[in-house]
């Protein structure tokens, strides 16, 4: 009965998507990210100067609006190259290829910043569900599930020793006004923060606190406890 109630209220959608994304993808690729970055840096020593940015930057738009081509989303984002591939046999598929793309982000001073960046692909599923009548999934449901997806994924990754220091989650809520370079500015803010963090380590200073990014604390305030996935057994705690 509790399982049926949970399904009707769609409480397990984001929770399941976050775990599937982690187990089926991030847990496989993230431990290999730094090695790929190091290989690229040896061949291109002037591109990835800041080791603190040697991570996969994962975009989490709460609108679930995911672009297949980042260059079309923002003209200040330009594809540079792909990092080295990881090839594995998975679920019956021989030589399945996993790879990440490296981008150059142009700032307001025409300076180029480089990083590996991609969207959290499960958000495409949330968006598609909100467009499909069979899913009975409203825009409000989609927003709440996007927030829950981010919070769940953040908690999963925080507890993963294999993925420590290999990722940067970039959650954001787009403003109502059309901003041509909203996405690149968000990515640049995170890249600058990481540069400050690396500088602070060398200098013994504390990095400046984030001021324009969404944190899990802010998301906690927007999601009630009743929206969280509930256990099927009452003795789980």
> Which of the four CATH numbers 3.10.20.90, 3.40.190.10, 3.40.50.12100, 3.40.50.150 does domain 13-204 have?
3.40.50.12100
Q: Contact at 8 Å (CB) between 29 and 90?
A: no
Report the alpha-carbon distance of residue 72 to residue 75 in Å, rounded.
6
Q: For residue 235, report the phi and psi dihedrals to the nearest 5 degrees.
A: -100, 15
Tokens 């598929």 belong to 93
Tokens 């789980």 belong to 236
Report the alpha-carbon distance of residue 229 to residue 167 in Å, rounded.
25
Q: Contact at 8 Å (CB) between 117 and 5?
A: no
Report the alpha-carbon distance of residue 3 to residue 67 in Å, rounded.
34
Sketch the domain layout of the chain as residue ranges. Answer: 13-204
What's the confidence (pLDDT) of residue 199? 63
Tokens 């089926």 belong to 24
What's the confidence (pLDDT) of residue 167? 97
pTM, whole model, 2 decimals?
0.81
User: Which residues in the chain land under pLDDT 50?
Assistant: 1-3, 5-7, 202, 206-212, 221-237
Q: Of 128, 131, 117, 53, which is closest to residue 82 (Cα–Cα)? A: 117
What's the confidence (pLDDT) of residue 25? 95
């Amino acid at each position: 009965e509790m399982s049926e109630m949970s399904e009707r209220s769609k409480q397990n959608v984001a929770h399941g998507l976050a775990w599937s994304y982690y187990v089926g993808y991030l847990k496989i690729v993230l431990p290999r990210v730094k090695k790929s970055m190091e290989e690229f840096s040896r061949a291109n020593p002037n591109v990835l100067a800041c080791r603190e940015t040697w991570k996969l930057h994962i975009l989490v738009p709460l609108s679930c609006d995911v672009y297949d081509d980042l260059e079309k989303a923002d003209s200040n984002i330009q594809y540079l190259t792909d990092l080295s591939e990881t090839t594995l046999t998975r679920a019956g598929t021989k030589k399945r290829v996993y790879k990440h793309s490296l981008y150059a982000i142009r700032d307001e001073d025409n300076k180029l910043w480089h990083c590996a960046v991609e969207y959290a692909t499960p958000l495409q599923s949330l968006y598609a569900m909100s467009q499909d009548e069979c899913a009975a999934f409203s825009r409000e449901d989609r927003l709440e599930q996007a927030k829950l997806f981010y919070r769940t994924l953040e908690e999963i990754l925080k507890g993963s020793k294999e993925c420590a220091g290999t990722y940067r989650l970039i959650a954001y809520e787009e403003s109502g006004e059309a901003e041509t370079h909203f996405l690149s500015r968000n990515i640049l803010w995170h890249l600058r923060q990481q540069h400050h963090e690396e500088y602070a380590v060398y200098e013994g200073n504390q990095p400046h606190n984030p001021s324009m990014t969404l944190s899990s604390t802010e998301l906690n305030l927007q999601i009630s406890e009743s929206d969280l996935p509930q256990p099927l057994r009452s003795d789980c705690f």
